[in-house]
Amino acid sequence: MTERIGGQRYLLLGWVLLGLAVGAVLALAGLPREASLAWAAAALPVAAHVALGIVRALGGGQLGVDVIALAAILGAVALGETAAGAVVALMVAGGEALEAWAEGRATRSLSDLLARAPRTAARISDGEVEQIDIGEVAPGDLLFVRPAETVAVDGTLEDAEATLDESTLTGEAMPVQARQGAAVRSGAVNAGPAFTLRATATSEASTYAAIVRLTRQAAEERPPLARLADRWALGFLAVTAALSGTAWIVSGDPVRALAVLVVATPCPLILAAPIALMAGIGRAARRGIVVKGGGALERLARVRTALFDKTGTLTPGRPRLASTELEEGLGRDEALRFAAALAQGSTHPVSAALVTAAKGLSVPLADSVTEHAGGGVSGRVEGRDVLLGSEGFLDAQGAGPSDGLGGSAAIAAAGSVAWLALDGRAVAAFVMADGLRPEAPRAIRRLRAAGVTRLVMVTGDRAAAAAPIAAALRFDAVLADLSPEDKIAAVTAERAAAPTAMIGDGVNDAPALAAADVGIAMGAHGTAAAAEAADVVLLVDRLDRAGEAVAIAVRSRSVAVQSIALGMALSGIAMVVAAAGYLPPLAGALVQEGIDVAAILFALTALRPGRQEHRPATVSGDAELAERTGEHARLRALAGELRAAADAVSQGREVLPRLEAAEAAIRAEVLPHQRAEEANLYPAVARALGGRDPMAALARMHAEIETMSGQLAALLRLAATEEGWRSAAPELRRVLFSLDALLTLHIAAEEEVLAEVSPEVSAH
């Protein structure tokens, strides 16, 4: 439909250009009457087209400034100023053609989504590959995805690995590697060899179909700023009528009134605002941000308060074991063995964290494992009755923790604790932590820079779990222990004070997302309910895109308002000059054409980032940025091992081999990593960032880590004897904890700096 309308606009423009050219040739040949007829023939079809549009608008209860263009064309033909009428017609036809081109450019990313929507799939049935309509795919079907094909439906990878290009979905340029069993989203393109996929959803319920629905909704919505422009257009129509009438009455010359009509330009009001907003939507789409229409974009630009869910939004939603509290006589490894034996039979994220923490231990098999809806797992391990779960679950089973174990400071301050009970008695508490997303601090800074003045955390978690994260991110308020209904009430209260955005990812966030002025959903790994309820969907799993979305919205709305103001100001000046008799109709028509083009081209500058937006520098591939950041996951794991080794020092000299292994890992992994960074990466980053020495603090941390690793090696040599162990143990514990803290802090600080030279850097 859009292409057909665009074709009609271009055809009308071609007709006007032909008529103008024929008229000019006839005029130069000394045939003024014939030239006038040619110009009139060029102008009158445009007048008929405009009149038809006005009638349709009146049928919908609207009246716009197209009336001015119609009056100018008909008046010019009636008064014998047919050349001016043809130029006005060229303005109208050219403006509509320019609108079609501009909208096409602004919505190119959205159109690409629609064009690449898969229509068929290759299904493997009885060893045969058959091509079927995408609507026939059912969950459980085995699909064959050829090289360069678009994945038709959501599914799980059956082969050992696959290379996927997800740039259409997320804006990420680099292909990603998926391993067997990984979730694969529809819309991704196979960037490697063919692979097989087990469908987990129908085409309509898959990721890509949801994106297409959001895209269509975004393209069809009429922006509020455009409606505001329509209201301004009515006032502009009244001013134009008054000024042209006054010029006619004062001068007694109807041509003077015609000149005012000719230079009264409606295009900036009609076209510039929606073009600027659609340009912003297109820019956002290229960054993996789906904005559901110009209305959502304009509301996003006005946001001054942002509310955040915690788990899955500010944190990755993947907990890890932070510390262990034990009863006397039970070792950490023994407790982990029993806990992991039960956790292997559970799908809960905390269970997965315990299984991960127990890697390297001899974990026995559990019998009669049962996962209870009340928040725990029960079973038998090595002949003993074992319970694993929340404090409430253990209480319900008559195995609640004693005051001694349950009253520790670590447990009191913890946000999440998994309890272990053996034979009806609580013996261990596993304190879990779900750290910040690496990009969360950067996201908060971008929101502040974009004009968001108040940040609030709204979470169902305990206040003890929420407070440290809120403090680290410098939130203005924390509302904890909230139900979904409480979250709606919090959003409503904040909306009463300022335009508000809600950012979340789960089903329980969907009502709050819908209640906010703008709902922003983490759609990459969030729920469909959240994505449907939100106004903005982040298709890439990066929180900093929320700040980027606000910055794009602010830029687009600013350009829209400025383009309207520019067109109206220039038009007003030209109208006054024409009313004074210094701008005849033909010259005025040419001036008016230039004003229209200038305003619309200015609106298209919304396709580019503004001066206030974050535009990171880059470094070359020779700097090995991807390689170094890719090593951070292993270094984080090593930091966790240092922390666990420090805890184990209290067990005596038998842990010495474990400490020596940790020290060897530092020499084999951390120190070479640091030397490689200082040789290639740091100099390249310093050149990109500029300044006197932007990497000095990070290089100083390298030196301190190296010094402390030398201290650790010396202490381990001293601890080789029983007497040496007694004197070295306290210092060993201190150095190990210090190394853990310094290495963890260094990785976080380094990723913050590296994000400035590559916006896609994140923790691996």
Sheet holding 189-190, edge to edge: 176-179, 161-165, 189-190
Q: Are 458 and 555 in contact (CB under 8 A)?
A: no
Q: Are 400 and 420 in contact (CB under 8 A)?
A: no
Gap between the Cα atoms of 354 and 332, Å rounded: 12
Reply yes or no on whether 385 is catalytic. Answer: no
Q: Which of 141, 154, 230, 309 is catalytic?
A: 309
**DSSP alpha helix (H) spans, 496-581:** 510-515, 528-533, 544-579
Bridge partners of 388, per DSSP, are 377, 420
Gap between the Cα atoms of 419 and 391, Å rounded: 6
Q: Are 425 and 399 in contact (CB under 8 A)?
A: yes
Gap between the Cα atoms of 178 and 180, Å rounded: 7
**DSSP alpha helix (H) spans, 583-631:** 585-603, 625-630
Sign of the alpha-carbon torsion through 733, 736, 742, 744: negative
Expressed in angstroms, the distance from the first to the final Cα of the chain is 44
Mapping DSSP to helix (H, G, I), strand (E, B) and coil, where does residue 511 land? helix
Q: Which amino acid, residue 561?
A: V
Which is nearest to 201 in space by CA: 152, 148, 260, 262? Answer: 152
Gap between the Cα atoms of 522 and 509, Å rounded: 11
Gap between the Cα atoms of 718 and 618, Å rounded: 47
Q: Are 67 and 53 in contact (CB under 8 A)?
A: no
Q: Which amino acid, residue 481?
A: D
Tokens linked to 380: 């038998």
Which is nearest to 591 in space by CA: 612, 573, 616? Answer: 573
Q: Hunting for tokens 């002949």 — which residue is that?
A: 383
Gap between the Cα atoms of 37 and 22, Å rounded: 10
Gap between the Cα atoms of 359 and 356, Å rounded: 5
469 contact partners, CB below 8 Å, separation of at least 6: 310, 314, 315, 436, 457
Extended strands (E) in 330-445: 366-372, 376-381, 384-389, 416-422, 425-433
Mapping DSSP to helix (H, G, I), strand (E, B) and coil, where does residue 125 land? strand
- Tell the burial category of 472 from Cβ atoms under 10 Å away from its Cβ (0-12, 13-18, 19+): middle
Phi and psi dihedrals of 467, rounded to 5? -60, -45
**Active site residue ranges:** 309
